[in-house]
Each structure stands twice: as C-alpha cells, then as structure tokens.
C-alpha cells in the first residue's frame, strides 16, 4: 500500500468513477439542507455532509463500499466514540501545529521541544487508532483497509524509530532543572542587559532559616567582589510586594519556566505568560534567552534538529484528511440511532445488478416525516417499483394528499442509499442513478424576468439536456402555472421526450388528463408510463398510493381549496 496516495473511506475508486453534483435547487427541493442541520449544529460539519451526499455516482461498488463502512460505524458505538475522541486530539495538534507559527524563535530550543511533543502526541493517536480498530469487530473493506493503511503508515514512517529518538531527547533534556541568569545594572540599579550564566541539573532551593540568619550577620549586604558563580544552588526569594519592578522583570523572564515546572512548556501557554518588561531596555529578553540556550546546549539542539528534520515528512495531514469522512458516517449513525430509538424503521439498501427492475421499495416513507412526527405510528408507508412497465409515474390525487411528500421521499431514498446510509423503508433494492434532477415550483422572485411559465420551460429544457437513461427526474406541479390547455400541451410533450430518454421519473400533477392518456403515451414506446394515484378512502386522504387510473375527471375543487377560491372560503370573512 502506498501511503503517499490519499486514503478515503468514501471514495474508494476516485480515479475511475464519475461523479455528478446535485444542483443547489435539487438539494433544497429534496430537503437536504434541512437534513444536514438535523445531523449537526456545526456549520463546517453541515458543509462536509452536504458535499458528500450531493455528489452522485452510479457506480454500484462505491455505494456498497460506503454501505458496509456505515454498517460498522452504526453497529459499533464504542468504536465511533473512541475514534471521535482521537480525531479531536489530532485536529487540535494540526490546528496548533508549531510548524505554522511564524515567530523570531522559529528554530529555537523552545519551539523545537514543542514540535517534538506534537510528534509524540501524534504517534500516540495513531497507535490508539490501530488498537481500537484491532479490538473492534470491523467487517467492512473500508475500515479494514484503513487499519491496514495505519499499519503501513506506522512502518513506512518509522514510528518506532521516531519514538526511540524522542525518548532519547527527552531523557537528555529532562535533567535540566534550572537556569542561572546574570543581570547587569546601572548606577540607578536599572537592568541594562541579561545573560545566561549556566544551565543546571538541580533546582534552586530557598535557604533554611539558620543559613539566612548566618548570611545576614556575617556578610554586609552579600555583595561579591567577582562575577564568577560559586555553584551555590540556594537563592533568596524576592518579595514582589516590596520589589515590584525587579520581581516583575524576573517573573517575566522566567515565566515560561515557572508556569509548568519544566522549561519545555507549551508555546501557547508561554505566549500568555511570558511578557517583556514595559518601558525598559530588555525588550526581547525571552527570545535572547532562547538564543543563548541554543549556544549553550549545542549538542542537544543539533540532535533535536536532526530528529525533526529526519521525520519532517511525517505529516499530520495523512490522518486529518480522513477525519471529515468519518464525521459524515458518525453524524448519520448518531442521527439514525436516535430515530430508531423513537420507533422509526430503517434498512440496508440492496443494489440490483441485472433484470428489468430498477427499484423495488417496500413500506417507504419520507425521512422528513420521521424528523417532524413525534409518533412513528402516525407515519404512512408505501410500496413503489420502477421496472420496464413502470418507468414513469404520472401521480395525481387530492390536494395535500401527500403527492409532494412521496415524490421527495423517492429522491431521499436514492441520496441516502448511494451515500451508504440506511434508508427509511422496510426494504429497498435499486440500481444507482447518475444524478437526480428536480423541477419544483420556483420562488416568485426568480420568475420576474421570464414569467412563471417561461421560467419553468427554461428550467425543464436545461434539466432534459443533462439527464440520461440512468437519471432520476422528480417533477412537482410542473407547467401548472398557466391555463390547463397550455400546461397540458407542454406537459404531454415533455413526458414523451422523457420516455425517449428512459429516465426514471415521478411527475406529480393536478392534470388528471395527462394520466388518463397513459395508453396513448405508451404507444410505440419501449419505456412505459403508468398512472399512480393517492387513494381517497371515504373522502379521507389516506396518503397511500397505488397504480390505478386517475380517480376522476376533475380536481377543480381541490385546486379551488388550495388557492382559497371556493364560495365558502371567499365569503367566510363576510
């Protein structure tokens, strides 16, 4: 396995598979924007999920590959929780990568040590991922390949050797317990320069009371005749309340050391602790200290730089590129797990490889209903198939009877199935589509230039030019904004043109006459259209569909009710 090639658990054959992008309008018509908001409150994650589900390929192997990865993620909640924790750690390391810090100390001792800690943390994350994948009962090719990818990455990146070098560096630097600073002062006792006297293996300790007393009575003011340090590791604490200026200076210079009890403090912490003294000549003293440390610890610095140079190609991006793909699966798993607990039903889709059936769905429902309906028993389920005798459905029925809901539901089934996600149905077998095209009523502000009918015609022509025999077309009240005669004429020609291409289509409409002329439409055509109706049981809307002739010759009453122009509705306010 070549780890230089980007690994993916979503796009297994990215070099040989063609993807088509759903239009922004189609995403909105299918309710994908609403779905993404349900999956995550994080805008970045919403965009990640939308980018995946809106990218469509008819390749059945891609759908199957994704489906099996998702099955593992859904079935193993402990695995996805552990991976989520590790991904958060890796993202943190990547986000605050010291290699991205542009400072004057870029190649200094402190930055090098911070970078070493990053590599150490990164190794631990990769090892933890390997362990949790090894311990889990993963069955999908995607996760098994990812585990193998980590194994190869671990070996090719020589993580074992890197760990050994990091331990060696740590052991060599861990003996440093303190540094001795020399401060030159002027006649007014103002600090004029700073120097590093020594790096010590022992910490300074405050002298005991007897020693302090003896010092105080034996020597006048402890002023030495020479600048040579005698090696004494004791020191006298400077009271900040009585020596604010000098104490502030010492605190600022040594702040990054005292902050954590070790000189190798995190760069972000150091940036908030170490400050320069205000209005004096020691600006940049911390950086100067770092430069002097580099000179005094020459062999250690060289070893640090050699180690980091040797492993410079160990990029955290190797793993961070896969994190968004895992997030896609994890958010859907959490979402479906929650809906299932509330009584919603989901199943694994099955790809159909041959035969004249291109879709067979049992007890399907619109996923948006599961989101908005508190009681799952109130959801109405339907069966629907696409085959050689039912490639195009002319769907008619009462207003607000569920025509748009089931039209949208079919599109969501394909989006989820081809994205590898469990689908809202008892069973769903299908041939993948190369894209989904929708033609729903446009917002009024988009029709000002061309008028409603003109805008609809332009959109349909564009849709038709792009679709293929492997596409799914969803038409919702298309060409219903004009007179019946004009709308029917255009709609009939449009259906005949779709039949010539052979695209799977649902056309929901109030034009019952279009459904009544199915036999004429089917003449001399190998692709067949069928009439699909929303059943009306005793005057009640059942939201159930069945293949049958249109229920009546007119839905004028429903149309009148839709737009509020029945006598009762018009005169109700009088």
Q: Convert 197-222 to b/e letters by CB count within 10 Å (16 or more is b).
A: eebeeeebeebeeeeeeeeeeeeeee
Question: Can you give the pLDDT at residue 278?
Answer: 43
Token duo for residue 474: 């969803």
As a whole number of angstroms, the longest Cα–Cα distance in the chain is 120
Residues in the chain: 574
Dist. CA 215–CA 234, nearest whole Å: 12
State pLDDT tens for residues 284-325: 545 555 555 555 555 666 666 666 555 555 555 567 788 899
Question: Can you give the pLDDT at residue 282?
Answer: 43
For residue 510, which of 460, 550, 549, 458 has the smallest C-alpha distance?
550
For 187, counting Cβ atoms within 10 Å of its Cβ (0-12 exposed, 13-18 middle, 19+ buried), the class is exposed
Q: DSSP per residue over 124-167, as a string?
A: HHHHHHHHHHHHS---SHHHHHHHHHHHHHHHHTTHHHHHHHHH
Question: Can you give the pLDDT at residue 453?
Answer: 83
State pLDDT tens for residues 200-235: 777 776 555 555 555 554 454 555 555 555 655 444
Q: Which residue has the higher pLDDT, 291 or 181?
A: 181
Question: Can you give the pLDDT at residue 171?
Answer: 67
Question: Can you give the pLDDT at residue 257?
Answer: 37
Question: Can you give the pLDDT at residue 92?
Answer: 76
Question: Can you give the pLDDT at residue 470?
Answer: 95
Mean pLDDT, residues 176-183 taken together:
73
Question: Can you give the pLDDT at residue 78?
Answer: 95
Mean pLDDT, residues 133-138 taken together:
94
Question: Can you give the pLDDT at residue 139?
Answer: 96
Reported confidence tier of residue 270, pLDDT bands at 50, 70, 90: very low
State pLDDT tens for residues 74-116: 999 999 999 999 888 887 767 665 554 443 344 566 666 667 7
- Mean pLDDT of the chain, nearest integer: 78
- Do 365 and 425 contact (CB within 8 A), yes or no? yes
% of the chain exceeding 70 in pLDDT: 66
State pLDDT tens for residues 423-458: 999 999 999 999 999 999 876 545 445 578 888 899
State pLDDT tens for residues 20-77: 999 999 999 999 999 999 999 999 999 999 999 999 999 999 999 999 999 999 999 9
Token duo for residue 137: 């009962």
Q: Which residue has the higher pLDDT, 472 or 310?
A: 472
Mean pLDDT, residues 130-142 taken together:
94
Q: Which residue has the higher pLDDT, 85 or 155?
A: 85
- Do 535 and 544 contact (CB within 8 A), yes or no? yes
Backbone angles phi, psi at 271, to 5 degrees: -65, -25
Measured over the CA atoms of residue 534, residue 535, residue 541 and residue 542, the dihedral's sign is: negative
Dist. CA 291–CA 109, nearest whole Å: 8
Question: What is the reported pTM?
Answer: 0.74
Question: Can you give the pLDDT at residue 261?
Answer: 38
Q: Which residue has the higher pLDDT, 242 or 490?
A: 490
Dist. CA 256–CA 252, nearest whole Å: 8
List all residues 6 or more positions away from 289 whose beta carbon is below 8 Å from its beta carbon.
179, 181, 194, 196, 253
Range with lowest mean pLDDT among 281-285, 376-380, 401-405, 531-535? 281-285
Reported confidence tier of residue 253, pLDDT bands at 50, 70, 90: very low
């Amino acid at each position: 396995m070549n780890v230089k090639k980007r690994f993916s658990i979503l796009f297994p054959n990215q070099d040989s598979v063609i993807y088509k992008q759903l239009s922004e309008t189609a995403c909105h018509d299918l309710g994908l924007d609403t779905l993404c908001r349900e999956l995550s409150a994080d805008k970045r994650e919403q965009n990640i999920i939308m980018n995946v589900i809106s990218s469509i390929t008819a390749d059945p192997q891609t759908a199957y590959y994704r489906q099996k990865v998702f099955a593992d993620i859904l079935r193993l909640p402990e695995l996805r929780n552990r991976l989520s924790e590790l991904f958060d750690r890796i993202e943190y390391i990547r986000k605050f990568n010291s290699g991205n810090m542009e400072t004057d100390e870029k190649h200094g001792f402190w930055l090098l040590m911070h970078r070493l800690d990053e590599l150490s943390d990164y190794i631990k994350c990769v090892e933890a991922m390997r362990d949790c994948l090894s311990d889990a009962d993963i069955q999908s090719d995607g996760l098994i390949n990812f585990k193998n990818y980590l194994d190869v990455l671990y070996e090719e990146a020589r993580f074992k050797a890197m760990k050994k070098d990091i331990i060696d560096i740590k052991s060599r630097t861990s003996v440093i317990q303190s540094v001795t600073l020399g401060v030159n002062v002027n006649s007014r006792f103002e600090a004029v320069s700073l120097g590093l006297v020594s790096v010590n293996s022992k910490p300074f300790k405050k002298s005991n009371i007897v020693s302090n007393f003896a010092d105080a009575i034996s020597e006048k003011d402890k002023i030495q005749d020479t600048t040579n340090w005698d090696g004494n590791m004791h020191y006298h604490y400077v009271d900040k309340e009585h020596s604010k200026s000098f104490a502030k200076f010492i605190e600022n210079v040594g702040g990054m050391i005292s902050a954590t009890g070790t000189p190798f403090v995190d760069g972000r912490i150091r940036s908030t602790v170490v400050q320069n003294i205000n209005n004096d000549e020691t600006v940049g003293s911390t950086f100067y200290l770092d430069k002097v440390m580099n000179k005094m610890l020459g062999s250690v610095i060289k070893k640090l730089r050699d180690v980091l140079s040797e492993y410079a190609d160990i990029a955290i991006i190797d793993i961070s590129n896969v994190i968004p793909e895992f997030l896609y699966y994890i958010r859907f798993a959490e979402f479906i797990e929650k809906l299932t607990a509330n009584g919603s039903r989901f199943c694994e889709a099955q790809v159909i490889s041959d035969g004249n059936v291109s879709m067979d769905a049992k007890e399907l429902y619109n996923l948006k209903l599961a989101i908005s309906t508190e009681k799952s028993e109130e959801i109405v389920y339907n069966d629907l198939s696409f085959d050689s005798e039912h490639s195009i459905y002319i769907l008619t029925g009462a207003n607000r009877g569920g025509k748009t809901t089931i039209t949208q539901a079919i599109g969501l089934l394909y989006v989820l199935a081809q994205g590898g996600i469990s689908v809202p149905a008892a069973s769903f077998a299908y041939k993948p589509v190369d894209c989904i095209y929708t033609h729903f009523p446009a917002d009024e502000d988009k029709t000002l230039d061309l008028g409603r009918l003109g805008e609809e015609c332009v959109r349909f022509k564009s849709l038709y030019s792009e679709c293929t025999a492997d596409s799914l077309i969803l038409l919702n009240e298309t060409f219903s904004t004009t007179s019946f005669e004009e709308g029917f004429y255009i709609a009939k020609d449009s259906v005949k043109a779709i039949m010539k291409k052979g695209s799977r289509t649902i056309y929901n409409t109030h034009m019952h006459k279009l459904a009544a002329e199915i036999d004429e439409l089917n003449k001399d055509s190998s692709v067949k259209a069928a009439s699909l109706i929303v059943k009306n049981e005793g005057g009640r809307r059942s939201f159930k569909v069945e293949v049958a002739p249109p229920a009546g010759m007119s839905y004028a009453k429903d149309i009148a009710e839709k737009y509020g122009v029945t006598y009762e509705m018009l005169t109700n306010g009088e």
